[in-house]
Amino acid sequence: QVQLVESGGGLVQPGGSLRLSCAASGTIFKIYAMGWYRQAPGNERELIAGITIGDTTNYADFVKGRFTISRDNAKNTVYLQMNNLKPEDTAVYYCNAEVGITLLHIQTYWGQGTQVTVSS
């Protein structure tokens, strides 16, 4: 079994910064793509950023230039550095990972979510 545990959420003022972390643990052969999503009340879950095993990144237009995704493969951890936060960034943030449990068995896992609130 694999678990993803997010941390780093909280309350921040507009214009502030937060850094989210998501650590994977359990039976892991290799972690392939990793990503961050968010879901605000009444909205669908949306992709924020993704990163491949080769460190290729992609971002939603609404976070380009403000958020940066990175990963530390030695720690099985993905990060999301969020700068210049806006009230509309308020949401529950989830990480997700494509985890190879064996060479042939790949499964997608989700974290439990961490609340980010941007308010003065």
- DSSP characters for 83-111? -S--GGG-EEEEEEEEEESSSS-EEEEE-
pLDDT at residue 87, as a whole number:
97
Q: What is the pLDDT of residue 104?
A: 87
Average pLDDT of the chain, as a whole number: 96
Q: Across the chain, where does the E strand assignment appear?
A: 2-7, 10-12, 18-26, 30-39, 46-51, 57-59, 67-72, 77-82, 91-100, 106-110, 114-118
For residue 102, what pLDDT band results from cuts at 50, 70 and 90?
confident
17, 82 Cβ separation under 8 angstroms: yes
Q: How confident is the model at residue 7 (pLDDT cuts 50, 70, 90)?
A: very high
Q: Which of 101, 97, 78 is nearest to 30 (CA)?
A: 101
Per-residue pLDDT reduced to its tens digit, 12-71? 999 999 999 999 999 999 999 999 999 999 999 999 999 999 999 999 999 999 999 999
